[in-house]
A = this chain, B = another copy of it.
Amino acid sequence: MSTIQTATKEFRPDKGTQTKAIITDAALRLASQIGLEGLSIGAIAEVTQMSKSGVFAHFGSREELQISVVREYFSRFERDIFFPALDASRGLPRLRAMFVNWMAQVAQEIQSGCIFISGAVEFDDRTGPVRDALEQSMKTWLAAVRRAIALAVEEKHLRADTDPKQVMFEMHGLILVLHYEARFMKSGRSMERASTGFENLLKQYII
């Protein structure tokens, strides 16, 4: 047995974990379409062709299922947006990579919907663990964006008086309007406008 085969075997998840991952994946796809609030053990049983009790064995409640979906969404968000940006060098190149990857994610979600955006609307007037998971995920990501901006200041790519929170706020605005105009208004040039907006924003701080 080669090393690769051994490694594969070692990392192969057990059947229970695999089933849980299949359910989470189906739930994530469903939540992207109909919202986190549309999720139910029954609906997931239907799309995965499992019994309700089978789904229930992995997720004790609808809330637990919703939280797993938020966590899975966030780990894919990190995998697709944050981690690849770390390959770019510190400072402006990494900050640009983060924004470009973030835009690309929104572009992909123009058909399916974004859980961070629809979830914020669904849960903005509630309390509880699902809202907390959503808010915590968004806070973690925005903090990473803020750190990337601060690093670009440290690297002297951006002016010393740059306010990382302000730049982060404006970057987030460009992402939200990109999503709104592309998905709801079906406006064709939103990607270009978000890109231009980001370069306009940077221009004010670039040394």
Contacts and interface: CB of A to CB of B under 8 A. Distances in A.
Contact of A193 (B165, B190, B194): B165
Interface stretch (A12-20, A44-52, A178-186): A178-186
B184 A180 contact: no
Nearest to A181: B169
Contacts of A194: 169
A97 interface: no
A86 to B, nearest CB: 25
Interface in A96-155: 113, 117-118, 120-125, 135, 138-139
Nearest to A122: B121
A172 B166 contact: no
A54 to B, nearest CB: 29
A64 interface: no
19 contacts: A117-B121, A118-B121, A120-B184, A123-B184, A124-B183, A124-B184, A138-B184, A165-B193, A166-B196, A166-B200, A169-B177, A169-B194, A170-B177, A170-B197, A172-B180, A173-B173, A173-B174, A176-B176, A176-B177
User: Which 3 pairs between the two chains have the least Cβ-Cβ distance?
Assistant: A173-B173, A173-B177, A176-B176
